[in-house]
Amino acid sequence: MVTDTAFFMKMTAWTEPDMAEPLQVTLPEDLMQEIAAEVESGAVPTPDELIRQALATYFEMDRAARIEAVRARVDAARRDPRPSVPVKEAFERVRREVSRRHRSS
C-alpha cells in the first residue's frame, strides 16, 4: 500500500569513478519495496547499485535521444531540395548572425 509517508534512503552519487559524494533521496514506500525486492532477488547487490544503474540508463537514453535528434536534422538537411550553400557563404552568414546578436544584447 502506498502512503504519503516517504522513506529516506542514503545512496552514493559518483562524480568520478574513484570519488563518491553522499546524496540523500526521498522515495515513496512503493519504490522502496521494489528496490528491496530487487536486492533480495539478487538482481543487484545493493540499493545504491540499483539507483546508480537506473541513473546511468536514464542519462544514456537522454544522450541517445539527443544524438537521434541531431541525426534526424542532418537527414532532413540532406533531403532538402534547395541548393547547397558554399562553405564560405555559410560561415559569413553565421558571423553576421553572431555579430547581430552580440550587438543587440
So what's the pLDDT on residue 14? 45
Whether residue 93 is contained in a domain is answered as yes
- Please indicate whether residue 17 or residue 65 has the higher confidence score (pLDDT): 65
Which residue matches cell numbers 532532413?
Answer: 76
Domain count, the chain: 1
- The parent domain of residue 25 ranges over 6-104
Could you count the other beta carbons within 10 Å of the beta carbon of residue 94?
10
Whether residue 1 is contained in a domain is answered as no
- Please indicate whether residue 42 or residue 105 has the higher confidence score (pLDDT): 42
Alpha carbons 93 and 99: distance in angstroms, whole number: 10
Asked whether the beta carbons of 66 and 44 are under 8 A apart, the reply is no
Give the predicted TM-score (pTM) of the model: 0.51
The sign of the CA dihedral 63, 69, 72, 76 is negative
